[in-house]
């Protein structure tokens, strides 16, 4: 039976709504929504495994909205998605099963380490390339996506960013197509995690529901502006996310 976060206050519900909207907005454009939601959920006092479970519920609904928005605007490479979605789903499920055997301390430190790693990946510049169908073999697509699906089930923060960068580097998709194509895959990895956490009763629904609804709204707005603004807008959002995460990590180090 799933759990409820019975001690949550009205203030925290408001915080989760604001956080969910911002995370959905950022995630639909450049990935990395988990970098916003996960630290805030941790700060609320939840145990790390409950944080991961609650974050996935919000993420899976938000990324579904982004997927629909990008699909309607024909920005998704369905060739990539059709090949990668099942391996990503299975890999994410296995990652979520594994994380439930780890201690809270290990999970907490792994999450904190994953955030700067994602930031390093974002700093890396990639060549301006055109879509290359020769790179879109079944082997290349699975190798470029499934390991990140496992990471998403295991930890999660930065998954959308990792997928976007991987598609650009290894599959030679352009920036907007890469970003859009990560969304259905990210939905699959989030869904696989939600199933695992749901069966284990780790989802705190009183926190997850308002955050999820806000995430949907943020995702709708964010994907709209990503399509409208194109690559330059996406790059600006990536830079903004980097700066915010860097400042947050510095503050965290100083305070602790």
Q: What is the mean pLDDT of each run of 10 residues along the chain (256 residues)?
A: 58 93 91 83 87 90 94 94 91 86 76 70 60 78 91 78 83 87 86 86 90 96 90 77 65 61
Give me the residue spans of the domains in the chain: 10-255
State how far the Cα of 36 lies from the Cα of 22, in Å rounded to an integer. 8
CB atoms within 10 A of CB 250: 10
Predicted confidence at residue 212, as pLDDT, reads 95
Exposed e or buried b for every residue in 92-101, given b needs 16+ CB within 10 A?
bbbbbbebee
* Spatial distance between the Cα atoms of 10 and 207, rounded to a whole number of angstroms: 10
- In sequence order, the 6+-apart residues with CB closer than 8 A to the CB of 210 are 13, 16, 17, 20
Q: What is the pLDDT of residue 76?
A: 94
240 vs 24: CA distance, rounded Å: 15
Alpha helices (runs of H) in 124-204, residue ranges in sequence order: 138-154, 159-171, 175-200
Tell me the β-bridge partners of 3.
Answer: 204
Q: pTM for this one?
A: 0.77
pLDDT at 164: 83
Q: CA 71, CA 189: separation in Å to the nearest integer?
A: 18
Three-state DSSP state, 129: coil
Residue found by looking up tokens 């955050």 in the block: 211
Residue with tokens 């999660």: 156
- Residue 204 bridge partners (DSSP): 3
3-class secondary-structure state, position 121 = helix
Pairwise CA distance, residues 67 & 187, whole Å: 8
């Amino acid at each position: 039976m799933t759990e409820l976060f019975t001690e949550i206050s009205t203030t925290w519900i408001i915080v989760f709504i604001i956080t969910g909207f911002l995370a959905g907005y950022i995630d639909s454009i450049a990935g990395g929504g988990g970098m916003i939601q996960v630290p805030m959920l941790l700060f609320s006092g939840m145990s790390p495994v409950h944080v991961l479970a609650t974050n996935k519920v919000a993420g899976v609904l938000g990324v579904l909205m982004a997927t629909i928005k990008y699909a309607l605007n024909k920005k998704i490479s369905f060739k990539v998605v059709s090949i990668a979605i099942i391996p990503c789903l299975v890999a994410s499920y296995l990652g979520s099963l594994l994380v439930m055997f780890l201690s809270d301390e290990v999970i907490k430190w792994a999450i904190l380490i994953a955030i700067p790693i994602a930031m390093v990946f974002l700093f890396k510049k990639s060549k301006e390339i055109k879509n290359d169908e020769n790179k879109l073999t079944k082997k290349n697509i699975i190798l470029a996506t499934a390991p990140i699906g496992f990471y998403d089930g295991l930890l999660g923060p930065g998954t959308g960013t990792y997928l976007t960068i991987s598609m650009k580097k290894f599959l030679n998709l352009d920036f907007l197509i890469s970003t859009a194509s990560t969304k259905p895959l990210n939905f699959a990895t989030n869904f696989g995690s939600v199933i695992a956490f749901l069966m284990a009763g780790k989802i705190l629904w009183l926190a997850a529901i308002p955050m999820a609804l806000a995430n949907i709204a943020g995702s709708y707005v964010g994907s709209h502006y990503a399509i409208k603004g194109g690559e330059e807008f996406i790059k600006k959002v990536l830079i903004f996310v980097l700066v915010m995460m860097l400042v947050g990590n510095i503050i965290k180090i100083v305070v602790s």
